[in-house]
Amino acid sequence: MSITLTSGAQVVAVVAHPDDDALMFYGTLRLWRSAGASVTVLVVTNGVNGVSVADQAAGVRLTATRRLKEIRLSYQDSGITVECLGLEDGALDAGRGLVTAIEATLARLGCTVLLTHALHSGSDHQDHLAVARAALNAAARVPSCTTILHGKPHAPHHQVVSSVLVDITPFMADKIKALQAHESQSGRFYLTEEYTRWRAAGAGWTLLPAQADAGRYFEELSPSLLLLGPPADSGR
- pLDDT of amino acid 186: 86
Q: What is the pLDDT of residues 147-175, one digit of tens each?
A: 999 999 988 878 888 889 999 999 999 99
- pLDDT of amino acid 161: 85
Q: Is the pLDDT of residue 23 over 90?
A: yes
Q: Is the pLDDT of residue 233 over 60?
A: no
Q: What is the pLDDT of residues 202-231, one digit of tens each?
A: 989 988 999 999 999 999 999 999 887 664
Q: What is the average per-residue pLDDT within 179-183?
A: 95
C-alpha–C-alpha distance, residues 203 and 220, integer Å: 7
Q: What is the pLDDT of residues 73-87, one digit of tens each?
A: 999 999 999 999 999
Provide CB contacts within 8 A for 232, sequence distance 6+.
none
Confidence band (pLDDT; 50, 70, 90) for 57?
low
Q: What is the pLDDT of residues 2-21, one digit of tens each?
A: 566 666 899 999 999 999 99
Q: Which residue has the higher pLDDT, 71 or 57?
A: 71
Strand order in the sheet with 10-15: 81-87, 38-45, 10-15, 113-116, 147-151, 218-226, 164-167
Q: What is the average per-residue pLDDT within 46-70?
A: 79
Q: Is the pLDDT of residue 89 over 80?
A: yes
- pLDDT of amino acid 64: 84
Phi and psi dihedrals of 15, rounded to 5? -130, 160
Q: Please give the single-letter amino acid code of residue 67.
A: R
DSSP per-residue string spanning 207-218: H-HHHHHTT--E
Q: What is the average per-residue pLDDT within 99-116?
A: 98
Q: Which residue has the higher pLDDT, 137 or 233?
A: 137
Mean pLDDT of the chain: 91
